Structure 1
Amino acid sequence: MLRNGQILFLCALALLTLGVLMVTSAGMQIDQASAEQPILVDGGLSPIAIMSGRTGMYAALAIGVMGAMAFVPQRLVERAIKPRPGRFYLMLGVGAAALLGLLLLVYLPGIAREKNFSSRWIEIPAPVFGTLSIQPSEIVKWSMLGLLAWCAVSAGDRLRLFWRGLVPMLIVLGLVCAVIMKEDLGTAVLIGAVGVIVLLAAGAKVWHIGVLAPAATPKPVVDRLNAAINKLLALPDVKTKLDRIGVVPMPETPAEFNKRIQE
């Protein structure tokens, strides 16, 4: 009888295989010789072509990593990811520095690559795979959520405190989203929205989630900031991405939001 871990491995393997086939077939080149009989320039799909391609090599590497992780003792993994309340600020800072450093690699001469007038990719030479093209924002997309979840568990009841618990995590989330927003607005909005959901699920108070400014900020500046945010939330692309993850934005005036906080 299969164990839970083995079933999970087989499901992941099936999805990985399906993904490799889909990506490989999508990348096939077709010479439209005629509408009735298109010609495959690369000779079509074959097991050798799939496994020798870059996608197949990535899949083989992923399978190898999964197999290796299966032999790692569970206690060792639990000890490594165990929340440490006393190191909340340290781990949040280290994680933020790592994610921001990864995002800024897209501006590093030598490995940064601009495509379609957007600097989202880096290319790293690899002995076996040739040149690896990596989009750091895709890595940060998942790593950011993991960091928030880990820090939220470490924070515990402190997360319900606005300045000592929630604000540091919102600052990190905001910085990461701000860097990504320069090149990819949709991904930044998605990360920000899901990050807020993670914080709310971890115990943050709903009325603490909003955009705040220092008390001495002039009213015209606050009004312009409020108008810009409401305009951003009204963009079709932003609304679509938020709707996909079940987030309903609630645009308000500064006075309405201030009243909500004080209630």
Structure 2
Amino acid sequence: MAGHDAERLSARCRERDRSPFVFKTVTTLITANAGTVTLIGGAQAANVFWQVGSAATLGAGSSFAGSVLSLGAITATTGATVVGRLLSRDGATTLDTDTVSPPLFASRGAPTTTTLTSTCPLGDGGPITFTATVTSSDATIPTGQVVFATDGATLGTVPLVAGVATLTTSSLPAGVDRVVATCTGTAQHDPSTSPVLIQRVDLGCPCTTLTARGRSGERDDVRRDDRAGSQAGSRSGPVAEGKAGTRITAACGRRS
């Protein structure tokens, strides 16, 4: 921007508190009297920079955020408030009963891990319940939201309660669905996304026996539902990816 006069300007952070903003002007930067620079969406003054090609003037009573890096002089007129730094290479920096506070750097949140599991459909078109469990590296209990999605379409957003979010849906299309759960993160906890869970939905096949095959190739029964399908023969039922690459399948067929 060239010769910019800022009366009201907002900077929104889309990647939590770590995104940098660099505003450049080849000539002057002038803020209006009582003008404001507002940081929203988690943006931090420590990550906002104003590169000025000549001189910078902050209007009387204005509220400013970020660090000014000016080639020429910087003048903060009466009553200006600055959260940031005023740095001039070749000129003077002049203050007049102003308030200048150094910006605070937000600390990184604790890393988190999100895992996702699902139940097997209990009947034709029956609901499936997905459970996302979020843990943190510092042993604190994460809060915030979890977004459940399949193949790019959002299934729902659920708040975390004691580190767990549960979503029950009957809207998955028949066939194979790729489902993920994403913890959106907070100032205290980083966001994280679960591995893809492959959920097969067969509307004509109730769940019978779920078995798991781990990396070692060992087979263990993990769930049984005695309601067998009414179809003759045998078809595969819901499929999921369990811990550490475990593949979980459900057998569907006639009860013997």
Q: TM-score, normalised by structure 1?
A: 0.19
Larger Rg: 2
**Structure with greater helix share of residues:** 1
